[in-house]
Amino acid sequence: MTDFEPILIAFVCNWCTYTAADLAGTSRLRVPKNVRLIRVMCTGMVDPQYILKALLHGADGVLVSGCHPGDCHYLNGNFKARRRIKLLQEILPCFGIESERLRLTWIGASDGIRFAEVLHELVARLREIGPNRAAAVTAVY
């Protein structure tokens, strides 16, 4: 388990969390190498199917991160995203996929430090949970 390097897919919104990621980079903050960022215009456009695809195709965790409530560039995309995350957090455990593998956070554009913290925390948590076996299992069934 000590060798386990979780793969984390992060859907980040263009206006807040992606900018925070950029800031973390230009600030030379260390972020875990486990994360693959996918920039989207808004967390409200992350259809549950993309999250499911990631979790069933080898991701150990998925992070969806956007603007704080009230800060959404499109007014309320982040609130809509929260309902979709809630929905998936209900569905995933029915099939033996821990709901903790999917997280939603609000990280503002100036939160480069917080962005790095969240990734470290989430990767640490995924190490505790262990590998997601969904991809290996669904490949042979």
Separate counts of helices (H) and strands (E) for the chain = 5, 4
Name which of 28 and 95 has its Cβ closer to another protein: 95
Name which of 34 and 105 has its Cβ closer to another protein: 105
Name which of 21 and 103 has its Cβ closer to another protein: 103
Residues that bind another protein (CB under 8 A): 15-16, 48-49, 52-53, 56-58, 67-69, 71, 76, 79-80, 82-91, 94-97, 100, 103-111, 113-114, 117-118, 121-122, 124-125, 133-141
Nearest distance, CB of residue 123 and another protein, angstroms: 10
Is residue 41 within 8 Å of residue 67, measured between CB atoms? no
Query: What is the rounded CA–CA span in Å between residue 63 and residue 10?
Result: 4
CA proximity to 36, closest of 68, 55, 63, 3? 63
Nearest distance, CB of residue 78 and another protein, angstroms: 9
CA proximity to 120, closest of 61, 43, 41? 61
